[in-house]
Chain A
Amino acid sequence: MRGERGLHELYRDDPERADALVFGRRGLLKGAGLTAMAAVVGAAIPFARHMPAGLIPAALAEETDWVGLLRADGLSVLNDRPINAETPAHLLDDDVTPSRLHFVRNNGVMPEAADAGSWTLTIDGEVARPTTFTVAELRRRFKVVEMALQIECGGNGRYGFDPPARGNQWTTGAIGNSSWTGVRYRDVLHAAGIKPGAVYTGHYSADTHPSGDPDKVVISRGIPLEKAMRDNTLIAFAMNGQAIPMTHGAPLRVVSPGWPGSTSQKWLNRIWVRDRVHDGRKMTGMSYRVPARPVAPGADVAKEDMAIIEAMPVKSLITRPKTGAQARLGKRLVVRGHAWAGDRSVRAVDITIDFGATWRAASLEPAPNPGSWQTWTADIPFPQAGYYEVWARATDDHGVAQPMVVPGWNPRGYLNNSCHRIAVTVT
């Protein structure tokens, strides 16, 4: 929590007392940090005795610091270890998402340090000249671009599936649209010389497996070469004009807008250019895949019938007012939000206050650049006092619209792009 004396601070100022507090008695740590510590200490006291005074356990350093900050900023923490946190809809009202309000999805343990000065990115595999770049070299050698780009977790909306799908139960807030600065992914690949056989990329990063096994890859996803070649696929080193925060992949990450967030690998240190579809961890099996053909809810789907998710479907959020708002009869209510559509643009956003019986068009702004979400606004009159739900429905430039109900059930609960709604009471 902000305002409380942090674990780091305590260890810095008075390491012996910190150790006494952490290992000797409970009271300093709260919640999962405490229980994790209690469990570890209880079963492994010799480790505690032999730990040098003042050495912050890595697991605790992660939990106490970042989770507290995320909670203080208003995010909902779904899991504190590994960290997974989403943003309530009303906190996503900004056209460009502030870094502190961008959702966090970690598969493993964040690196302990991410020094931009010594960090390197290696490009190897199906390239003529395997090359290692420092962050400074990337900046110097390639055109630096900045653009607003949306990243959405493939499992955003998983909470809506019935029967429930396994995994973090994201509701609506695993989406963000920050301003990313970096170099084009394609420029970096071209510098290494793409061989004719290259078809896909594979990403590797410096986060570590929750089990602590240093040889185990946490996650290694990638993108087809065609996606890597686009104008708005970046290797980014800044978020909203600042060095990328640790929780968002410091100091270097992929930004692959419109595709499952897992393709935007954080803490990036290697791109392996492949002559086949990348088969890294969480590329195969059931992860980030949906059935190639529609299946009944709850169906047991064979791995070979699952297909990799590419661009995500059209979606929107109502970010103002917050659900539960009060409106005055005779006064129009201003409703606002954002809409996005994978690799496509959004053509229209419509609003209903009568559960879809009638719709009215919202005013929709163009994206500042392809890959950004678009902002929409509507002002709504209400016919009489009472309880209403305001629903928003976006339609993409191919005429494909959001469903009002939860779409195709799938075993891992991806791609729920059903309409968002808020409650409004008119008095």
Chain B
Amino acid sequence: MSWRAAAGAALCAGLFASGAAASEPEDYDGLPAGPGQEEVYFLCIPCHSLAIVTQQRLSRRVWDEVLDWMVEEQAMPELEPADRALILDYLATHYTPDTPR
């Protein structure tokens, strides 16, 4: 297992159980504050920057599909239903088709 994969796996495994005892990132890569900010950040950051998230302006339906696609195609760990709902709510609240670009 590569250093990166190991770190990523450690992150994913520890994420929701420990409440992510991580040092706080500077600004969560630009994610706006709100319920789910931290969870979205630590879910995504092991594999890719948040830039691909903050570029998006998607409906709740499409965000829902994206989360499925991340699990099915992109090796994202499957989320507990409560965590998934929190993350989907965050994305569908802050990055909608009507959110200014």
Binding site for B on A (CB under 8 A): 26, 32, 34-36, 38-44, 47, 51, 55, 57-59, 77-82, 162-164, 166, 168-169, 209-214, 216, 281, 285, 298, 300
Partner of A166, one of B1, B4, B24, B58: B58
Closest to A47 in B: B7
Partner of B11, one of A43, A57, A80, A169: A43
Partner of A39, one of B46, B56, B61: B46
Interface size class of B (residues with CB under 8 A): 35 or more
Also in contact, A38 and B22, with CB within 8 A (given A43-B11, A44-B10, A211-B74): yes
Indicate with 1 or 0, residue by residue over B1-44, a CB within 8 angstroms of chain A CB atoms: 11111111011001100001111111111000000000001100
Also in contact, A164 and B56, with CB within 8 A (given A38-B22, A44-B10, A216-B75): yes
Whole-angstrom CA separation of A55 from B2 in the bound complex:
13
Also in contact, A298 and B59, with CB within 8 A (given A210-B47, A211-B47): yes
Closest to A109 in B: B4
Q: Smallest Cβ distance from A325 to chain B, in angstroms?
A: 24
Residues in A with CB closer than 8 Å to B46 are: 39-40, 211
Would you mind naming 14 contact pairs between A and B with Cβ atoms under 8 Å apart? Answer: A32-B50, A42-B24, A43-B14, A59-B4, A78-B55, A163-B59, A168-B52, A211-B76, A212-B1, A212-B5, A216-B75, A281-B73, A298-B59, A300-B61
Whole-angstrom CA separation of A41 from B7 in the bound complex:
8
Whole-angstrom CA separation of A404 from B47 in the bound complex:
38
Contact between B23 and A42, CB atoms less than 8 A apart: yes
Partner of B4, one of A26, A32, A58: A58
Partner of B48, one of A40, A82, A216: A82
Question: Nearest 9 A-B pairs (CB), nearest first?
Answer: A42-B22, A212-B5, A211-B75, A42-B23, A164-B57, A210-B47, A81-B49, A44-B10, A79-B51
Whole-angstrom CA separation of A34 from B45 in the bound complex:
11
Q: Smallest Cβ distance from A171 to chain B, in angstroms?
A: 11
Interface of A is mostly: loop
Q: Chain B CB within 10 Å — which of A32, A78, A209 has the most?
A: A32
Q: Smallest Cβ distance from A166 to chain B, in angstroms?
A: 6
Whole-angstrom CA separation of A32 from B27 in the bound complex:
10
Residues in B with CB closer than 8 Å to A47 are: 3, 6-7, 10
Residues in A with CB closer than 8 Å to B58 are: 163-164, 166
Also in contact, A40 and B7, with CB within 8 A (given A211-B74, A211-B75): yes
Closest to A36 in B: B45
Flag whether B85 is at the interface (Cβ < 8 A).
no
Contact between A32 and B29, CB atoms less than 8 A apart: yes
Q: Smallest Cβ distance from A289 to chain B, in angstroms?
A: 14
